[in-house]
């Protein structure tokens, strides 16, 4: 099996300090957190940022500051969010792409998101995808519902491939969308057409109580894992995690027991067929 790519979604848009006292919020806090996670075995950081009041923002300058703080400390792959937070406009959400990140998230459909609706209509999705392709930013397809896979395939057919390979993230357990049952994950993995599978990598995210079941399934199926305070704030039920790195370290231990080593950022670049990082 390939080495394990661990992606940390360490900040998110919805998680608060009240829910998770160790949530990194300021650019320096995010930089320190990303470095600790990389040290623990993570190779990708899915990046959201917050404004001075701690509210989610897609402001390019705040992203630039956070990226700078991360880069001072680690060569972890930085994947900026284009999901942002509920209610943001497409133009707001697109801003971090101007910084030419190595990767960016792309949700290929609209869906329920707890009490809200995460809005991604066809025009928005096509605009985001084309912008990523033009700029050479690798999308991570964030799949909250099965039809979003078909929609990603439509994008590839209409606008060309997303790079040398397609990278998928199956997000399971958001209230209002698919839960993290084994049959759901196997169905999603099997939904990647056979001719694209060898040019695909996939990870999966278990939200809240689905974190550990989905992680174990990913390890069993040879996939990769995403975790962090955007997705789950607890170490055990009712016990907040001591930091994102603590969640990384647990998965590294489990993977090693399974005979699978975590990928370093450069190894993850090779697996994902991203350009080598120039130090």
- Residues that bind ligand KMH in the complex, under the rule CB under 6 A: 13, 81-83, 85-86, 105, 107, 113, 118, 142
User: Which range touches Zn ion (CB under 5 A), out of 16-24, 76-84, 193-201, 231-239?
Assistant: 76-84
Q: Where are the alpha helices (DSSP H) in 54-170?
A: 60-71, 90-94, 122-135, 147-159
The H or E element that residue 235 is part of is strand 234-236
Q: Counting beta carbons within 10 angstroms of the beta carbon of residue 22, is it exposed (0 to 12), middle (13 to 18) or buried (19 or more)?
A: middle
Q: How far is the CB of 252 from Zn ion (least distance, A)?
A: 22
57 backbone dihedrals φ, ψ, rounded to 5°: -145, 155
Q: What is the DSSP string of 195-217?
A: HHHTTEEEEEEE-GGGHHHHHHH
Residue 169, binding choice from ligand KMH, Zn ion, none, Cβ under 5 to 8 Å by partner class: none
Q: How far is the CB of 119 from ligand KMH (least distance, A)?
A: 9
Q: How far is the CB of 137 from Zn ion (least distance, A)?
A: 15
Q: How far is the CB of 261 from ligand KMH (least distance, A)?
A: 27
Decide: 204 and 169 in contact? Cβ < 8 Å.
yes
Q: How far is the CB of 164 from ligand KMH (least distance, A)?
A: 22
Of 43 and 81, which CB lies nearer to Zn ion in the complex structure? 81
CA 149 to chain CA centroid, nearest Å: 16
Residue 49, binding choice from ligand KMH, Zn ion, none, Cβ under 5 to 8 Å by partner class: none
Residue 107, binding choice from ligand KMH, Zn ion, none, Cβ under 5 to 8 Å by partner class: ligand KMH
User: Which range touches Zn ion (CB under 5 A), out of 58-66, 75-83, 84-92, 205-213?
Assistant: 75-83
81 makes contact with Zn ion (CB under 5 A) = yes
Of 49 and 188, which CB lies nearer to Zn ion in the complex structure? 49
Of 15 and 81, which CB lies nearer to Zn ion in the complex structure? 81
Q: Which residue is nearest to ligand KMH (CB)?
A: 83
Identify which of 210, 256, 257 has the alpha carbon closest to the alpha carbon of residue 231.
210
Residue 113, binding choice from ligand KMH, Zn ion, none, Cβ under 5 to 8 Å by partner class: ligand KMH
The whole-angstrom separation of Cα 133 and Cα 131 is: 6
User: Which range touches Zn ion (CB under 5 A), out of 80-88, 129-137, 219-227, 264-272?
Assistant: 80-88
Decide: 171 and 205 in contact? Cβ < 8 Å.
yes
Of 107 and 224, which CB lies nearer to ligand KMH in the complex structure? 107
79 makes contact with Zn ion (CB under 5 A) = no
Would you give the DSSP letter of residue 163? S
Q: Is the dihedral of CA 111, 121, 200, 163 positive or negative?
A: negative
205 makes contact with Zn ion (CB under 5 A) = no
CB within 8 A of 157, min separation 6: which ones? Answer: none
**Residues found near Zn ion in the complex (CB under 5 A):** 81, 83
């Amino acid at each position: 099996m390939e080495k394990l790519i661990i992606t940390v979604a360490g900040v998110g848009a919805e998680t608060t300090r009240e829910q998770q006292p160790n949530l990194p919020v300021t650019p320096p806090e995010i930089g320190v957190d990303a470095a600790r996670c990389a040290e623990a075995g993570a190779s990708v950081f899915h990046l959201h940022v917050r404004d001075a009041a701690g509210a989610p923002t897609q402001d390019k300058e705040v992203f630039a500051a956070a990226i700078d703080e991360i880069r001072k400390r680690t060569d972890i792959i930085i994947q900026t969010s284009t999901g942002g937070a509920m209610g943001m406009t497409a133009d707001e959400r697109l801003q971090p792409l101007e910084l030419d990140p190595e990767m960016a998230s792309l949700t290929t459909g609209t869906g329920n998101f707890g009490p809200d609706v995460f809005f991604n209509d066809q025009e928005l999705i096509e605009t985001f995808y084309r912008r990523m392709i033009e700029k050479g930013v690798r999308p991570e397809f964030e799949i909250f519902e099965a039809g979003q896979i078909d929609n990603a395939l439509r994008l590839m057919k209409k606008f060309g491939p997303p790079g040398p390979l397609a990278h998928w993230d199956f997000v399971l357990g958001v209230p209002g969308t698919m839960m993290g049952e084994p049959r759901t994950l196997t169905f999603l993995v099997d939904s990647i057409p056979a001719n694209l599978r060898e040019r695909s990598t996939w990870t999966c995210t278990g939200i809240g109580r689905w974190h550990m079941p989905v992680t174990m399934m990913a390890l069993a199926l040879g996939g990769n894992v995403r975790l962090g305070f955007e997705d789950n704030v607890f170490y055990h039920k009712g016990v907040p995690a001591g930091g994102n790195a603590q969640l990384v370290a647990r998965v590294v231990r489990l993977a090693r027991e399974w005979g699978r080593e975590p990928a370093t950022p450069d190894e993850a670049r090779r697996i994902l067929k991203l350009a080598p990082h120039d130090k």
